[in-house]
Amino acid sequence: MKTIMVCLKRVVDYNVRIRVKPDGSGVVTDGVKMSINPFDEIALEEALRIKERGEAEDVVVVSIGPADIQQQLRTGLAMGADRAVLIECNEDISSLTAAKVLLKCAEKEAPDLIVLGKQAIDDDCNQTGQMLATLWGRPQATFASKLELSGNVAKVTREVDAGLEVIEVDLPAVITTDLRLNEPRYVKLPDIMKAKKKQLESVAIADFGVELSSKVTAGNWETPASRAKGIMVNDVDALLAALKEKDLV
């Protein structure tokens, strides 16, 4: 295998408490810590482990977003990726648009494997990987909790509702990662310094010729209602009475 392409998304860090803008137009991101989507970080870790086993030559990280996303790409380079591609876009795009843009990038990079998180923690869409595989015309294996490569075949253990499912797909393929696949490595300061010298290519999204308009738009954002205070009951009869009072039984 020559090249593995890893798709990264920039999201609000999972430790940050999300706040909705006063006008309901979105969530507050100014001055907020941003990070690599945790599922995508797992995807990158797996790609790096594959390379370290000698089963791949090159790991390229790709992301779509504003210039500020270079910080997350540099983190990817510090983890061990060989190079990075930033597709500059200052607009919010849909999963389908992202898949179309990543397809153009895949046609240029000609990867043997594309790996990305099963979903992003900001919108939880769980769509981009599946759409990319369909547009690319290649097999897909989603929700991977274990990945084994043998020649031009990937054996993937998937987490499904009924338990675990093992499938084999021919390469090139798209694989989306689940939480239990691995634990991403800690980035050390020397690696951060080395990452500054690695290649980071910036490309305008307009160069890919993909229409950015979306058929789905968010009309308004609201903070979830506060959770009602719980009550303590002494026995089953009191529990049933409390449930009946709330019309829950």
Residues of the chain above pLDDT 70, percent: 100
Residue 162 lies in a domain: no
**CATH code at position 210:** 3.40.50.620
Residue 158 lies in a domain: no
Higher-pLDDT residue of 208 and 47 is: 47
Q: What is the CA radius of gyration of the chain?
A: 21
Could you give the number of structural domains in the chain?
1
Q: What is the pLDDT of residues 31-51, one digit of tens each?
A: 889 999 999 999 999 999 999
Q: What is the pLDDT of residues 116-147, one digit of tens each?
A: 999 999 888 999 999 999 999 999 999 999 99
Residue 125 lies in a domain: yes
Residue 96 lies in a domain: yes
Residue 66 lies in a domain: yes
Q: Is the peptide bond before 66 cis (omega within 30 degrees of 0)?
A: no
Residue 149 lies in a domain: no
Residue 94 lies in a domain: yes
Residue 186 lies in a domain: yes
- Domain interval for residue 200: 3-144+173-245
Taking CA atoms, 249 is separated from 30, 228, 229, 238, 245, in Å, by: 45, 18, 19, 13, 9
